[in-house]
Chain A
Amino acid sequence: MELLMSATIGILTASGVYLLLRARTFPVILGFALITYAVNFFIFAMGRLAVNQPPIIRADVNQYVDPLPQALVLTAIVISFGMTAVIVVMALRSYIETDTDHVDLK
């Protein structure tokens, strides 16, 4: 499972970076989205992986996964939505204004 998680993070990052290096705004936005997944997974994995140990306190359970990375990732997901929305809108506005969606407005 750990290997799958590491590979997932690696693949998501690699695809994201490749898109980030493209010349148009749209692939850059998608690249950001993929890197966001990877980074969220990365932070999440820092609490180590566990199956069937949700951090919901119950009297009959005494094994829980680390809740702190989850709390961090939860807000990170919401904030990255905000960030994605802002860059999408910036890309849109600059396209409307300049008639090009090249990242350097060429």
Chain B
Amino acid sequence: MSLALILILPFIGALFPSLIIRQGRNACTVATAFFSLLAFVLLLTHVPAVLRGEFVAVGWNWIPSLGLNFNFYLDGLGLLFSGLILGIGLLVIVYARFYLSKNDSMGKLFTYLLLFQGAMLGIVLSDNILILLIFWELTSLSSFLLIGFWGHLPEGRQGARMALAVTGAGGLSMIAGMLVLGNIVGSYNLSQILQHKELIQSSSLYLPALILILGGCFTKSAQFPFHFWLPHAMAAPTPVSAYLHSATMVKAGVFLMAKMWPVLAGTEAWFYIVATTGLITMLMGAVIALFKDDLKALLAYSTVSHLGLMTMLFGFGTPMAAVAGIFHILNHATFKAALFMNAGIIDHETGTRDIKRLGGLLLILPITATMAIISAGSMAGFPLLNGFLSKEMMLEEASKAFWFGQPWVFPVLATLAAVFSVAYSLRYIFHVFFGPRKAVENTHPHDPPFGMWLPPAVLVLLVPLIGLFPETFAGALVRATAKAVIGGPIPDFHLSLWHGFTPALAMSAIALGLGVFICWRYLRLNNMVEKIPVVQAKALFDKTVNAMISVSQKLIHGFHNGSLQRYFFVLIASTTLLGFVTYFSNLQTPGLRPTLAAPPVAIAAFLVLLVCCAIIVTLHRQRLVALVTVGVVGLMVSVGFVYLSAPDLALTQISVEVVTVILILLALSLLPKTTPKESGKARRLRDAVLSIFVGAGLGGLTWAVITRDFSSISEYYLAQSKPLGGGTNVVNVILVDFRGFDTFGEITVLGIAALAIFALLDGALRGATGAKLAAWVSDQARSADRHPLLMVVATRVMLPLMIMVGVYIFLRGHNLPGGGFIAGLVISIALIVQYMASGFNWAAKRMRFDYHKIIGAGIMIAALTGIGAMLMGFSFLKSAFGYVPIPLIGKTELASALFFDVGVFLTVVGAVMLALASLSQIQRRATHLPDNREASDLEKGR
């Protein structure tokens, strides 16, 4: 359980820094450090168990059918990495407190840091590779935020983008590789996958999986040729560099190679890909590092080189090389994180990181200098320091490796890399702390405050301790980790300073001697090197990215020319094509369901519809004609519903039809009354052909489906409508009870649509659009008798009748055709008719409802009904019902669904009325009717 807590703590902690920063920087640091510290302490409680070799695990199932679970386990490798992540994380948090200036948003940085910390822990603790991949992506994202922390600097933004592009692309490759791997084994759990070495290596998919997974590892761990993003990520604040780019994130790739070592390593493909890449990266990084003048750039390339070293060791595929790799992970983290913090101190104190402008700082920054000498000495591989031990183990392994039968390749090139490694380390020491003082921006540098040098000091202390007493301080951890990595019996080894006169010792001695010489002759060498033209990786990267952008822009702009007609055509044509292809690529058998006879009246209605469609298509330029004909089609549709046993649909269709036609008429009064002829003959023919194909396709599809029998889930609804829902109108019971949640969503959408209409039109009353409306010239003659007396009288007499009909339809809805939707529409029509007959002012004066509130009340009532059911222990919107005696009517059945239907009713009335009222407001403005008192009262009331 506490294992899960270790993982969750940083994520919980990430919520706090941005809040607590208001209490000051110290409080913020304490809060942030608290979560890391707590997780670290919890981790320590597991140390004895892990060192004893126990399997510490925790897990929950998520979607077992997909192989998804939240399983986590802690082995030696997980312990080593979790320790680095939490331990160095803690030191970085303290260091950052003193490093950040007052202008930097500390809360933001700490939030990102904790997010990153949690993501890293997720990678090293996950058992399930799908979950691991999520955390893997999460590290890319959080490191993007961290590298781009100084978003005001272009380097910060570019560096962050580059890192995200490279590691993100690698992440995709990793996802593919992991899925292939999981597919080979049939499990997505590492603890399962790691048991199947033979199965994986004999699979024909082994090589693709290996290459894809390595794609992820190499990009993350900055291996050649993906190394270039790491130096650019140095635009991050130094605490971030110390954390991400020395100890944690860049080691995630190495971690995964170590994790997968038992099943992926040991083949020729693994050896030649991994060891060779590692060797090239190690040598290239070391050479470039020597000629960098920026302290952080030097350290960045040095990190690239050391990551190559570890990669090469894991690539060798021998257990002893893996042990060396593990040991170097630990050692590199200690001295490199310390060195990054050291570079940060120098930058902080002198105002520059440029080696050419630094020098003679030994006596001015004595503490800093001491720490730099020890940790850079370890980086160089000087005896007595921990870097020496693992580097010698590396040289020992390299001296045994053959490259295509050549025994010299690895030892010679590894020694050469070590030479440059010594040289750049010495350069860091001598060119910064010795030699003459140079003028720097801050003329009075001094050792930093305690809080800034303590964190690196803790790491620097470990350097000679591990160097002198490796078995005491690192033996158990390295052994436990090796056991996890190798997965079988671990080689018998003893970490110690002196192994006798071995080839590795000679190689070390050569490296030290030549390295000292190169550092001594640095200036002359540098002058020579500067004359060699160098390919800048960033320029290449930018060029590639720009080329890709321009290609995709051409592609997009080629297809998306902004023409809606073209989009519609492509969309419809391709969908139709897909439909036809799918239909005809399957075997067709005729449907056997007996068909219904078509009575003459149905044929007549069909013919009316046919004629109407013909009129609409041919006369669509006469907009009024077309609109009225569409209304007739709607009428025919509702007749069809009546005939085909759907009375509810018929009622809904006919009332919606009325409202829609009124609404479009209102809009049409402002829009042009005719459509100009624009498309040529060929275009119209093309569109007609497509239309016929679509129509034939959908009609044919319908025919194919409805002439076949089917089984429906509706038997349940029919059987349970009365016993469970308390109503005999099954359609209504489905709407307000069985599928009430859908209906709730739908009335919400309707309410939102009405509000959108209001927003669109109310905004049009103001500003430039409002002025335009005020100066509107109508293209229609206005009727002399705008409110015909006969119509006024008729509608006023009709109003109470219509409302009664509405109420009646509403109340009987649960048992007979009707219900909230239909009643809402009927009542709306009754109200609209008043507006039409008697004028907006007359009606508005008498109907002082705020339609916004009606919509809101409707949705609230519907929601409360559902929540009420939940409070009583039923599911959302479960209806309860009983029989209530009502005077005059008698014993009536009342269901709680009735309240829900009230909500539906109110929402429909509110939405319809708001849409129409907003439209008529616009219309009034355009026809220059004065905004008189009543209308303005209505405005105020809103």
In the complex, are the beta carbons of A56 and B730 less than 8 A apart?
yes
In the complex, are the beta carbons of A3 and B616 less than 8 A apart?
no
Within 8 A of B (CB), among A81-100: 81-86, 88-93, 95-97
Tell me the complex Cα distance, A1–B646, Å.
Answer: 15
Tell me the complex Cα distance, A90–B679, Å.
Answer: 23
B911 contacts the other chain (CB 8 A):
yes
In the complex, are the beta carbons of B698 and A96 less than 8 A apart?
no
B861 contacts the other chain (CB 8 A):
no
In the complex, are the beta carbons of B746 and A78 less than 8 A apart?
yes
In the complex, are the beta carbons of A82 and B630 less than 8 A apart?
no
The interface centre, meaning the residue of B603, B645, B646, B922 with most chain A CB atoms within 10 A of its CB, is: B645
Q: Which of B670, B690, B692 contacts A92 (CB 8 A)?
A: B670
Tell me the complex Cα distance, A47–B620, Å.
Answer: 33
In the complex, are the beta carbons of B649 and A68 less than 8 A apart?
no
In the complex, are the beta carbons of B821 and A13 less than 8 A apart?
no
- Chain A interface size band reads 35 or more
In the complex, are the beta carbons of A71 and B739 less than 8 A apart?
yes
B670 — which chain A residues lie within 8 A by C-beta? 92, 95-96
In the complex, are the beta carbons of A57 and B730 less than 8 A apart?
yes
In the complex, are the beta carbons of A27 and B675 less than 8 A apart?
yes
Name B607's closest neighbour in chain A (CB-CB): A4
Name B715's closest neighbour in chain A (CB-CB): A66
B729 contacts the other chain (CB 8 A):
yes
The interface centre, meaning the residue of B641, B644, B649, B660 with most chain A CB atoms within 10 A of its CB, is: B644
Q: Which of A34, A47, A79, A90 contacts B760 (CB 8 A)?
A: A90
Q: Which of B644, B676, B696, B757 contacts A85 (CB 8 A)?
A: B757
Name A14's closest neighbour in chain B (CB-CB): B695
B691 contacts the other chain (CB 8 A):
yes
In the complex, are the beta carbons of B717 and A68 less than 8 A apart?
yes
B694 contacts the other chain (CB 8 A):
yes
In the complex, are the beta carbons of B698 and A82 less than 8 A apart?
no
In the complex, are the beta carbons of A49 and B730 less than 8 A apart?
no
In the complex, are the beta carbons of B593 and A48 less than 8 A apart?
yes
Q: Which of B572, B637, B660, B678 contacts A81 (CB 8 A)?
A: B660
In the complex, are the beta carbons of B613 and A11 less than 8 A apart?
yes
Tell me the complex Cα distance, A33–B627, Å.
Answer: 10
In the complex, are the beta carbons of B598 and A82 less than 8 A apart?
no
In the complex, are the beta carbons of A85 and B753 less than 8 A apart?
yes
CB distance from A100 to the nearest CB of B (A): 9
Tell me the complex Cα distance, A16–B104, Å.
Answer: 59
Tell me the complex Cα distance, A54–B815, Å.
Answer: 12
Tell me the complex Cα distance, A84–B627, Å.
Answer: 13
A85 — which chain B residues lie within 8 A by C-beta? 660, 663, 753-754, 757, 915
Binds A, one of B150-158, B550-558, B703-711: B703-711
A93 — which chain B residues lie within 8 A by C-beta? 760-761, 764, 769
B675 — which chain A residues lie within 8 A by C-beta? 22, 24, 26-27
In the complex, are the beta carbons of A30 and B663 less than 8 A apart?
no
Name A48's closest neighbour in chain B (CB-CB): B706
A residues apposed to B, CB below 8 Å? 1-15, 17-30, 33-34, 37-38, 40-42, 44-58, 64-68, 70-71, 73-75, 77-86, 88-93, 95-97, 101, 103-104
B residues apposed to A, CB below 8 Å? 562-565, 568-569, 572, 593, 595-598, 602-603, 606, 609-610, 613, 616-617, 620, 623, 626-627, 630, 633-634, 637, 640-641, 643-649, 652-653, 656, 659-660, 663-664, 667-668, 670-672, 675-676, 678-679, 687-688, 690-692, 694-696, 698-700, 702-703, 705-707, 710, 712-714, 717-718, 721-722, 728-731, 734-735, 739, 742-743, 746, 749-750, 753-754, 756-757, 760-761, 764, 769, 772-773, 815-817, 821, 825, 908, 911-912, 915, 918-919, 922
Q: Considering the complex of A and B, which 8 residue pairs feature the smallest CB-CB distances, nearest first?
A: A10-B699, A14-B695, A82-B753, A1-B596, A6-B703, A67-B730, A57-B728, A10-B695
